[in-house]
Amino acid sequence: MQKDGQESHRVAVSGDVEVSAYLEIAKGGTKAEPRAKPEEKGGTEREAVVIVDFGSQYSWLIARRVRECRVYCEVMSYDAPWDKVAPLRPKGFILSGGPSSVYEPDAPQAPAYVYESRLPVLGICYGMQLLSHQLGGKVAPGTRREYGLAVLHQNSVSTPLFDGLPPEMPVWMSHGDRIEEMPPGFTVIAYTENSPIAAMGNEHGLIGLQFHPEVVHTPQGKTILQNFLYKVCGCSGNWTPGSFAAEAIQRVKEQVGKGRVICALSGGVDSSVVATLIHRAIGDQLTCIFVNTGLLRREEVERTLNTFQKNLKVNLVYVDASKRFLSRLKGVIDPEEKRHIIGEEFVKIFEEEAAKIGKVDFLAQGTLYPDVIESASSGNKAVATIKTHHNVGGLPSRMKLALVEPLRYLFKDEVREVGLALGLAEEMVYRQPFPGPGLAIRIIGEVTKERLEILRAADWIVMNEIKKAKLYRQLWQSFAVLTPVRSVGVMGDARTYGYMVALRAVTSEDAMTADWARLPYDVLARISNRIVNEVPEVNRVVYDISSKPPSTIEWE
């Protein structure tokens, strides 16, 4: 294994045999020219690692863990061309897990540039098996599958990957295949009772792990990843919210030039950070457009206008399109159709307002990485479409404006850190996420003016009680859902037939997964009592105790 201080970019797989020689016997992959180490630029250069995705359900989680180590990374499909990877100037690669078996005829393979780059590589589960399969080892179905917790035992081989870690530690396994023969030059560095080769590596930074270091069930997993990033790839962890903000501002300047930008402003943290970044980059070339869709929460319009006109000093256009959106949504029940209608109407309004402003070239949006992942479809075979987000999947192909999306590869908590680095108020930065389609997807069934007012009243009570209980910052989201279910009740000795409201409160790190919040019973009781007493149309309140997966956070 690579020793501390050794240059991580000069790699030979075994003895004097170059990596490219191994590619001649690799089973699949496209031949590519070896990639030299990028020339250093002046100042502090952003360090990046590329995660090559083979369809793992954990690829996004690997990205989160790498980011937590203050190293920038992006998830790329295994068939991404080098031209897409090269601009990142990677210092290493991580090969993800995946559902396939490497020996199957059509199984995805690591692209040739991964090896020919002469950079460190960490293969996880399927990625480890690919290292063996492509570099001359042997992978076969295991006699026993291994799923769940296992105890990892280190061998006596010295490796920086396990620096500071105990000789035995719990890890999370999820595999049916096993490595029977390692590639030439590799050594076993750890094993479990069922996996004689649970971790392997050579002295030049090519490492394979049969277990998943990225999941919480591997308690020392983050340390293992950090050791790979710092001690094998040579990263220093210089990717901070402040450095991202500086980079993003520079990229916006380069992309926009002298063009004009309109920004889709909602008042949430995503669009607020986007507007602030772009305003810092191009000043008055930016015009923010705040659209009142009629689908916003109580006092949302007044609060947003006050914040941006007084605090951020940006050019702001206010458009009241509430009647227009309600008209388009009349009779619509399907949630995907709601999302597409709202997305299309947004863009139409932006184009109309842009025409009034003059020549406009770009539309800025607060798209985040979870939006991109959940909206991905056939472009990445690894990910199925769960639901389209209005700022990713709802844009019509005829849209005339190019997109500016400086937060596209950030998770929500990272956006909040960037917002604080930009000097935004904590009240704005830590606001709970609110969906782009607004209350339209918190009303199950048709959206009407009457139902919107019922939901606004119930949601206002939820927010008020959550804040009074000092739970707001502990929760990822907390809100009310108006269901189409009506039930019999009794109030003042009279029969009622009212709506049922569902409460939803979840904890999460990034919305990719979430767990229902164990709210105190007294808080639930106060919320329920207030809703049925203060919202005449509602006579029943229920609490959603579903996690994500299998449920999503929003009901639609």
CATH of the domain at 56: 3.40.50.880
Structural domain includes residue 549:
no
In 3D space, the residue among 147, 151, 123, 150 whose CA is nearest the CA of residue 135 turns out to be 123
The stretch 373-394 carries a mean pLDDT of 44
Which range has the worst mean pLDDT, 216-230, 366-380, 422-436? 366-380
Is pLDDT of 344 > 80? yes
**107 occurs within a structural domain:** yes
Please say if the pLDDT value at position 446 is more than 80. yes
Give the separation between CA 43 and CA 49, rounded to whole angstroms.
19
Summarised one tens digit per residue, pLDDT across range 412-444 is: 889 999 999 998 888 888 999 888 899 999 999
**pLDDT mean over 256-269:** 88
Q: Of 405, 386, 275, 399, whose CA–CA distance to 346 is shortest?
A: 399
Q: 509: which DSSP letter? A: S
- In which band, very low, low, confident or very high, does the pLDDT at 367 lie, cut at 50, 70 and 90? confident
Q: Which domain holds residue 63?
A: 12-232
User: Would you state the pLDDT for residue 436?
Assistant: 85
Q: Are residues 227 and 247 both part of a single domain? A: no
Active site residue 125: yes
Same domain, 123 and 201: yes
Please report the beta strands in 439-543, taking only residues with DSSP state E, as ranges in sequence order. Answer: 477-491, 494-507, 515-516, 538-543
Task: Return the minimum-mean-pLDDT range out of 6-20, 168-182, 480-494.
Answer: 6-20
- Average pLDDT in the 322-327 region? 96
Residues 66-95 have a mean pLDDT of 94
The answer to whether position 167 is within a domain reads yes
Residue at which a domain ends, from 178, 208, 232: 232
Residue 434 placed within a domain: no
**47 and 127 fall within a common domain:** yes
Nearest one of 410, 434, 490, 91 to 244, comparing CA atoms: 410
User: What pLDDT is attached to residue 149?
Assistant: 87
Same domain, 95 and 68: yes
**Choice between 187 and 16, residue whose per-residue pLDDT is larger:** 187
Report the C-alpha gap between 440 and 395 in whole angstroms.
18
Structural domain contains residue 268: yes
Q: Which of 9, 133, 204, 212 is catalytic?
A: 212
pLDDT band at residue 50 using 50, 70 and 90 as cut-offs: very high
Task: Assess if residue 512 is contained within a domain.
Answer: yes
192 and 249 inside one domain: no
Please choose, from the candidates 451, 464, 458, 506, the residue with its C-alpha nearest in 3D space to the C-alpha of residue 480. 458
**pLDDT of 385:** 41
pLDDT of residue 146: 61
| 190 and 110 in a common domain | yes
Residues 465 and 530 in one domain: yes
> Active site residue: 116, 203, 214, 465, which one?
214
Out of 232, 255, 274, pick the residue that ends a domain: 232
Which amino acid is located at 336 in the chain? E
Kindly state whether residues 268 and 226 are assigned to the same domain. no
Compute φ and ψ for 475, nearest 5 degrees: -100, 145
pLDDT mean over 61-81: 92
Is a pLDDT exceeding 80 seen at residue 10?
no
| Closest to 554 (Cα-Cα) out of 368, 371, 332, 329 | 371
The residue among 468 and 175 whose pLDDT is bigger is: 468
The per-residue pLDDT for 44 is: 57
| Over residues 21-43, mean pLDDT | 42
Structure tokens that stand for 423 in this block: 């000097």
Same domain, 57 and 179: yes
Residue 248 domain flag:
yes
Alpha carbons 103 and 176: distance in angstroms, whole number: 13
Which of 381, 399, 429 terminates a domain? The answer is 429
Predicted TM-score (pTM) of the model is 0.70
Q: What is the mean pLDDT of residues 388-397?
A: 44
Percent above pLDDT 90 for the chain: 58
Both 457 and 325 in one domain: the answer is: no
The number of angstroms, rounded, from the C-alpha of 252 to the middle of its chain's C-alpha atoms is 21
Same domain, 331 and 470: no
Catalytic residue (choose from 47, 69, 116, 125): 125
Instruction: Report the range of poorest mean pLDDT among 6-20, 48-62, 135-149, 244-258.
Output: 6-20
| CATH classification at residue 380 | 3.40.50.620
Percentage with pLDDT > 70 across the chain: 85
Quick one: pLDDT band at residue 177, thresholds 50, 70, 90? confident
Concerning whether 450 is annotated as a catalytic residue, the answer is: no
The side-by-side arrangement of strands in the sheet containing 48-53 is 72-77, 48-53, 93-95, 121-124, 206-209, 199-201, 187-191, 138-154, 168-181
- Residue-by-residue DSSP string for 75-124: EEETT--HHHHGGG--S-EEE---SS-TTSTT-----HHHHHTT--EEEE
State yes or no: pLDDT of 163 exceeds 60: yes
Structure tokens that stand for 476 in this block = 């990822």
CATH no. for residue 500?
3.30.300.10
> How sure is the predictor about 7, in pLDDT bands with cuts at 50, 70 and 90?
very low
**Higher pLDDT, residue 6 or 57:** 57
pLDDT attached to residue 99: 86
Q: Which residues contact 288 (CB under 8 A, 6 or more apart)?
A: 262, 263, 265, 275, 308, 314, 315, 316, 317
Inform me whether the pLDDT recorded for 112 exceeds 90: yes
At 268, is the pLDDT very low, low, confident or very high (cuts 50, 70, 90)? Answer: confident
pLDDT > 90? residue 377: no
The span from the CA of 469 to the CA of 453, in Å, is 25
- Res. 389: pLDDT tops 60: no
Is residue 437 assigned to a domain? no
Same-domain check for residues 140 and 257: no
Q: Has residue 468 got a pLDDT over 90?
A: yes
What's the confidence (pLDDT) of residue 519? 98
Instruction: Specify whether 116 is catalytic.
Output: no
Question: Sorting pLDDT into bands at 50, 70 and 90, what band is 144?
Answer: low
Q: What's residue 495's pLDDT?
A: 85
DSSP 134: H
Q: What is the mean pLDDT of the chain?
A: 84
Can you give the pLDDT at residue 505?
98
For the cut 60, the answer to whether the pLDDT of residue 481 exceeds it is yes
What is the total count of domains within the chain? 3
d(CA 223, CA 201): 17
